[in-house]
Structure formats: C-alpha cells, structure tokens
Structure 1
Amino acid sequence: MKEETFLGTGWSFPPSFNADSGTVITVSDATDIVQSLQILLTTKLNERVMRPDYGCDLTPLLFENITVTLLTGIKDIIKTAILKYEPRIDVADIAFTSDESTEGVLNILIDYVIRKTNSRQNHVFPFYLNEGTYIK
C-alpha cells in the first residue's frame, strides 16, 4: 500500500508509464506543485473539456510590445489562475526578467509559499515572444 503524501500525488507531466508494472508514474509534494503550475501556465482557455476557464491564456499576448501595462496584465492573469486552481500555494511575488542573450524570451519568475509547510519556492516560466520585442 502506498504511503499518503502531505501535499498530494498526481500523474507526472508529461505523462509517462512504467513498462514493467504497467502503471502510470506519479509525482508527489513540491514536485507535483511545480508540474501543476507548468500545466496551468501552458493551458489555453477552452482547451480542457468540462473546464473551459482553466488555464492562463497568454498566447494572444505573444506579439505585443512589452510595457508596464502588459506586464501588470500578465501578473493578474497568472495570480487569478493560481488563486482559482492551485489552492496549495500562495503567490508571494511575480517578476519578469529578459536579457539580450535570450532575446524573444520573457522569464516569468513566480515566488510562492506552500501553505501546509510554509516553505518558500519559486518557478521560472519562459514565455517565448516574437523577435524584436522590448521592455519600455
């Protein structure tokens, strides 16, 4: 019998299987939260059956020039999605980085606290933009 984990267990992402036992590979605790965040951030609205409002639809923003207004909008979209669909964490901060060596990539840095353990974690999500965008 499997031991229950403190923060939950879910399928690994991307889903993978153990060929020997014929079972799905699972992840637990902080790893499950990180993979859940990755799924939430990469899922478009209306993409999931029976959950049309699940996800962070950042794709319409791909070809926008990066302004303070746009960054504030991205923060709001992400905070709202996490608040609604990832109850195991509290968002402490969302910040952005970009440099010339990764032109066309805006790294979204999400600092969060796991509620049950009060441990601080972070997740970096690379948001791929079009060539020639810039931060004003």
Structure 2
Amino acid sequence: MNADYPHVGTGWRFPVTWDGAGGVPTVGGEQVVMQSIGLIVRTALGERVMRPDFGADADRHVFEPRSEQTCFRLAFEVRQALLRFEPRVIVDRVEALPAGTEENRIDVTIEFRIDSHRRPTSLVLPFYREER
C-alpha cells in the first residue's frame, strides 16, 4: 500500500502497541493518512500542550441537539481542521448528517484524495450524542 503513496511516509499504528520484538508497529500510505484524519477529528482544542490549537474539537458537540445547525457546524469545523492540519490530502467534501432513526448519532462523511490524480476515498466517523 505504501508503494502507491511513497510521499506520505509511515507512522505508528494507533492505538499504539508493542510488537514481540519491543518495537512499535507502523502503517504507511493511505492507512497512515486515515489514522491522521481520525486523530485530528477526535482531538479537542487545548488537549495537546505544545499545540493547543490542534484538532477539530468535534466531541464538544455531543450534548448539542441533533439539528441542521449542529450538523453544519460539525462539518464546517472538521473541514477547517483538515485543511489546516493535514496537508497531504485534498478535501473534496465533508458532510454531517443525522444517522437514520438513531436519535443520538451523527455521521460525518469525509471524502478526500491524497493526490489530485488519485481516486476519491471516503471515511465515515460516527458521533454519539449523550442523553442528559
């Protein structure tokens, strides 16, 4: 897989584990980019001491109502964070929609390309809203 995207590089596989030889398993290519997107989306602003502006802060929406405004804000903030913190991808579309009949879930669909001449790839991240 890394042969398709040599410019992307490799990184630690998340969640971080140790292999039998005392090393850390790694991933490369499209997989490392997808992990990076997940980390950006799930990181709260201020969570990283040395980079307090890093992340999309998406989890702060868990107590908000499942409305059009919440979906719009969530999609907008995810898109802005990806444009700012993941320069290896071209973001084609970010869409947040209520997930069918589940009242506590919003699915965020992210369509991106690693290169402008590659085929689009999608990643769907579910968010569950906590009941009060």
**So what's the TM-score if we normalise by structure 2?**
0.86
Gaps of 5+ in 2: none
Answer yes or no: is the 8 Å Cα contact 2:43–2:56 preserved in 1: yes
> What is the DSSP-based 3-state SS (H/G/I as helix, E as strand, rest coil) of the residue aligned with 1:54?
coil
2:51 corresponds to: 51
1:89 deviates by: 0.7
1:74 deviates by: 1.1
2:39 corresponds to: 39
1:73 corresponds to: 73
Q: Output the aligned Cα RMSD.
A: 2.1
1:9 corresponds to: 10
One-letter amino acid of the structure 1 residue matched with residue 85 of structure 2: Y
Answer yes or no: is the 8 Å Cα contact 1:43–1:57 preserved in 2: yes
Please tell me whether Structure 1 or Structure 2 has the larger radius of gyration of its CA atoms. Answer: 1
1:97 deviates by: 4.3
- Taking every aligned residue pair, what percent have the same amino acid on both sides? 30
1:128 corresponds to: 128
Name the CA distance, whole Å, in 2 between partners of 1:104 and 1:73. 16
> Which segments of structure 1 move beyond 6 Å, counting only runs of 4 or more?
none
Deviation readout 1:11-30 (Å, 9 max, x if unpaired): 001111212x2111100000
The structure in which a higher percent of residues are strand is 1
1:49 deviates by: 2.3
Name the CA distance, whole Å, in 1 between partners of 2:120 and 2:46. 31
One-letter amino acid of the structure 2 residue matched with residue 16 of structure 1: T
Matched residue count:
128
